[in-house]
Amino acid sequence: VLITDTLRTNARQAELYAKGRETKGPKVTNARPGQSFHNYGVAWDAVPWEFMVNDPDKLLVGHKLDWTPFKRRELEQRFRQHRDLKTLDRRWRVMAEKAAELNIEWAGMWESMTEYCHFQFTGGRSLDDFRQAVA
């Protein structure tokens, strides 16, 4: 697994939140500073390491990581409809299954904003719990 984004400062979160709103490009997050589990060090973004070893051209698109865990668009649509891990690329499926075994939340299963690269382990705590702990 290649982990690319762990603890994120509020300044970096503000930068990411501005994308697609105040700066050019697509929106990359719905979380303002302090509203992401990344801001508390319990979330991370990751891609299968095997992509880097066996398929680097598929992973790197214009010098950016390609987060697409599906081989074909219709598989992604089926996954969104049924949340069936069998439709995932094998490398992503292994990550999702291991995360579930370890009680790690995988944002690929989220209904509202699906993020295939995002994982978090909050221990059942809410964002408010983390905010209060650092206040």
> What CATH number has the domain bearing residue 74?
3.30.1380
> 117 pLDDT band (50/70/90 cuts)?
confident
- What is the reported pTM? 0.78
3 pLDDT exceeds 90? no
DSSP E strands, 30-116: 43-47, 60-61, 64-65, 105-106
Task: Give the model confidence (pLDDT) of 48-68 as tens digits.
Answer: 776 565 555 555 544 455 555
Please tell me the total count of domains within the chain. 1
CB 4 within 8 A of CB 46: yes
Q: Which helix (H) or strand (E) holds 34?
A: none
In the numeric block, which tokens belong to residue 41? 């060090």
Separation of alpha carbons 46 and 75, rounded Å: 21
What is the residue-averaged pLDDT of the chain?
82
User: What are the φ/ψ torsions at residue 47 (nearest 5 degrees)?
Assistant: -130, 155
Domain interval for residue 130: 2-134
